[in-house]
Each structure stands twice: as structure tokens, then as C-alpha cells.
Structure 1
Amino acid sequence: MKIVVLHGQMHKGSTYNITKLFLDKLSDKDPEITEFFMPKHAPGFCIGCFNCFTKGEDKCPHADVVQPIVKIMEEADLIILESPCYVFGISGQLKTFLDHMGYRWMPHRPHEKMFSKIGLVISTAAGAGAKKVTKELKRNLFYWGVPKAYSYAKHVGALNWETVKPEKKKQIENEVAKLAEKISREVCNVKPGIKTKAMFKIMKMNQSSNDWNMTDKEYWIKKGWLNGKNPW
């Protein structure tokens, strides 16, 4: 099993440590794990040049940073996106990377390998907001074509992992163990459901009448998706 993790922060707080718990539990499957930490591995801010949409992803000014990460994501079986809750949202440094993935959304040029992956999104907050973060991260996975995504959002009631109460940590460990076991059973054995298939069908109809972005339409034609072929 191949796992790629996009950490939305550099510090090793509650969100990082819970992600580490997941990785430790999943290590029973002897996974190959690749981790990226934002902003260390993040590209520059998206400048809205539209090159990725109209000319191809390799024409993005930050392609040399973005594409190596994308290639590893394409080969992974499990994609983990994690971010602490920053003012009821994901961290800006992770958002910087996700902005560069717009061309991979289903309305544009989704990659067929994404339709066979599992996603896991993780967030913590000292107070409220972690569920808002995981909801936003799951939306990105869905529009990439990832058919199955699990969420783990936790109100830890502390400013750092060291001060999380022992009983809370024990609860987290039990919850993580159960979810990790479920993911282990399903990874490499997932197929798109009705929601993903319906969205893909809608996007196929849009591409059939697309007369403003031939880069996208030619991509769909080349894949055979406008002629009845599916990416799964």
C-alpha cells in the first residue's frame, strides 16, 4: 500500500500527532509513506494565469514544485490531507497547494487513477471548527474523483498535543484504531459510487458542449470519455 500525506503545517501539534497515530496503525500493512509539509513543500501562490486550464499543467509557473507532488499522489492508494483549524478553515499554506489542483477537478481534467483511491482528511481544533475543515478537504478529494473519503475531526480542548488530557488521548487512540482498520480493509478495493458517477456524467455532458477550453475537451476526447468510456 502506498500512502501520501499532505500536512497543512510544519509544527507537530495535535493534528500532526493524530495523523501519526493513523500512520502507525496502517503500518501493519507495511506501507510506503511519502509526506509533504506545507509551506516547506508548497508552491508559490496561484497567480490566476489560467495556464493550467488553457495550456496544460506543465505551463503553470510553479509546475516544477506542483507536478512532483501530483505524480506521487497519482500512484498512491491512500491520500491523507490534514490541517489544523485556522479561523474555521484550512491552513493558508495547504490551500496554496490545493489552488494549484483546480485543473484536476472533474469539470476539467481529472486523472483516471483518482477514481480508485481512498482519502482520509484529518483536523483538530482547541475549540470549534475542525468539522468545517474536514468538510472542505473532502470536497477537494471528491472533485478530484476520489470515490471514498473518511473524516476525522476532533475538538481536543487544548492548545497543543502535550496538554491534551490523557483520557481524551485514549479516546482518540481507540477511534483512530477502529477507523484505520476500516481503511485497511477497503484500500485498493474501492470503486466510484452513485454520487461520483453522477457528477462525472454531468461533467461529460458539459465537455460535449465545451467550446471555450479546447485543452480540456481534447483531453476528454483523447481519454475516450466522450465516446462512452469511463475512467474506472
Structure 2
Amino acid sequence: MKIVLIHGQNHKGSTYHIGRMVAEKTSPEGTIAEFFLPGDLNHFCTGCYACVEDVTKCPFYEEKIRIMREVESADLLIFTTPTYCLRESAQMKSFMDLTFNYWMSHRPRKCMFSKKAVVISTAAGKGAKKAAKSVANALFYWGIPRIWTYGICVQAMSWDGIRSRKKQKIEKDISRIAGKVLRKEHVKAGLRTKGLFLLMRMMQKANLGSGEADRAYWETNGWLAKERPWKQ
């Protein structure tokens, strides 16, 4: 199994350690690629819309595509983000902004409709579950059909500062999530995913999308006819 971890921070804190725990429990012998934000992609989307016409015209394309090539070839994606002000980190949000053309409303990648993802967030106090859910929602719009989230209040500022009882709970929780990931060897697009895709298809057919480049992409993939990005 190939795993890609994308960390919404440069430091290796509580969220990082839990993300690594998921990777090691799901595929101890697998290939793991890791990226750290903002270290590996230190930019905010400028809203220039260049990528809507041509994805290679994004001013940060080379840095972004290095990550997304790994993402597209992975079997399992793991996203980790600390909770900052009740939501995901700014750098993780920025990453999602920079990949908005992967959304079903634009140019979803066929490979996403058979992937699994886990989103991890920790907080010293409140907000971890909401932060994880926010990232998971963006991944749903990528077309990923099976996403597990885990948000927990660790009541500490670092991994070493977490009480042993809390770490035991985390270990137990992550073992359960890893078991679910492994049981779902092959995932399929569900009704919610298919419903959103078909809604976006209707918009593209009616020329209500973001432009000719997006519509041409859908036509090339055969999605405006009978083809679908999932196995039929």
C-alpha cells in the first residue's frame, strides 16, 4: 500500500505522531511519502484564476504538482492538522485553496473516486473535530468516497506532554480506525458522491460551469456521455 501524509504544520507534534501511527498500523511495510506545510508549499492562492484556463499556469504549479503526483498515485491519504482558532491550520486551508481545480465542480481526477483518506486533528482545547471535518469536506469534493476523521482534545502543547492515559485512548482509537481502513480494501463511490458528480455534470452540460476548459475536460473524459469516474 502506498500512503501519502500531508501535514498542516512543519513541526512534529501531537497531530503528526497520530498521523504516523495511522500509517504504521495500516501499512507497516508500505511506501510512505510525507509533505509538510508550509515547508513544501509556502503560498496562498492569489485568486488569479489562471488554473481555470490551464492548470500549468498556476504560479505555484511546479511545487503543487510535485505533491499532487504523489497524491494521485497513493492508495491511502492521511491529512494531519493542528487546530488553530477552532479550525484547520492556515497552511492546510491554503493547500485546499490551491487544489480547488480538483473539485468536482471543475476537473476531478478519476483516481480520487477509489481512494481512502484519514483526517487527523488535535487541539489543546476545543475544535479538533470541526477542523478535521472541514478538511474532510474538501476531500469529499475531490471525489474521495471514504474518509475517516479523528479529532481529539489532547490537553497538552506537545506529544510528550500528553498524559499516558490519553495516549492509551489514542492508541486504541487509531487501532480501530486502522482496522476499518484495512477492511475496506476496495472502496466505491456512494450515493452522496455520485449525486454531487451528476449535479456538476448537469451544470457542465448546460454550460453553467467555470468555462470552456473545464467543459472540454469533462467531454474528453466522456463524462458528459455515459462514462463515469467510478467503476460501473
Q: Does 1:155 align with 2:153?
A: yes
Greater helix fraction, Structure 1 or Structure 2: 1
Q: How many residues align?
A: 229
Distance 1:122 1:85 in 2: 10
> For 1:61 and 1:43, how far apart are their aligned partners in 2?
12
Distance 1:222 1:50 in 2: 21
TM-score (normalizing by structure 2):
0.96
* 2:166 aligned to which of 165, 168, 186: 168
Structure 2 counterpart of 1:46: 45
Q: For residue 27 of structure 1, report the CA deviation from its aligned partner.
A: 3.0
Letter in 2 for 1:89: R
- When the two structures are superposed, what TM-score results if normalisation uses the length of structure 1? 0.96
CA contact (8 A) 1:134 1:152 kept: yes
Aligned to 1:226, the other structure's residue is in SS state: coil
Name the counterpart of 1:34: 33
Post-superposition shift, 1:12? 1.4
SS in structure 2 of the partner of residue 5 of structure 1: strand
- Tell which deviates more after alignment, 144-153 or 95-104: 95-104
* Alpha-carbon distance, 1:97 to partner: 1.5
Q: Is the 8 A contact 2:19 2:79 kept in 1?
A: no
Please name the residue that 1:24 is paired with. Answer: 24
User: Which letter does structure 1 place at the counterpart of 2:179?
Assistant: E
Aligned positions of 1:206-225 closer than 5 A: 206-210=203-207, 213-225=211-223
The structural deviation recorded for 1:89 is 1.1
Unaligned runs of 5+ in 2: none
Amino acid of the residue matched to residue 125 of structure 2? G
Runs of 4+ in 1 over 2 A off after TM superposition: none
Counterpart in the other structure of 2:143: 145
- Aligned partner letter, 2:157: L
Q: Secondary structure at the match of 1:9?
A: coil
**Alpha-carbon deviations, 1:92-121, whole Å to 9, x = none?**
112222111111100000000000000100
Contact 1:42 1:96 in 2 (8 A): no
- Matched-pair identity in %: 43
The residue aligned with 2:124 is: 126
Q: 2:109 corresponds to which residue?
A: 111
Correspondence for 2:178: 180
- Mean Cα deviation higher: 178-187 or 60-69: 178-187
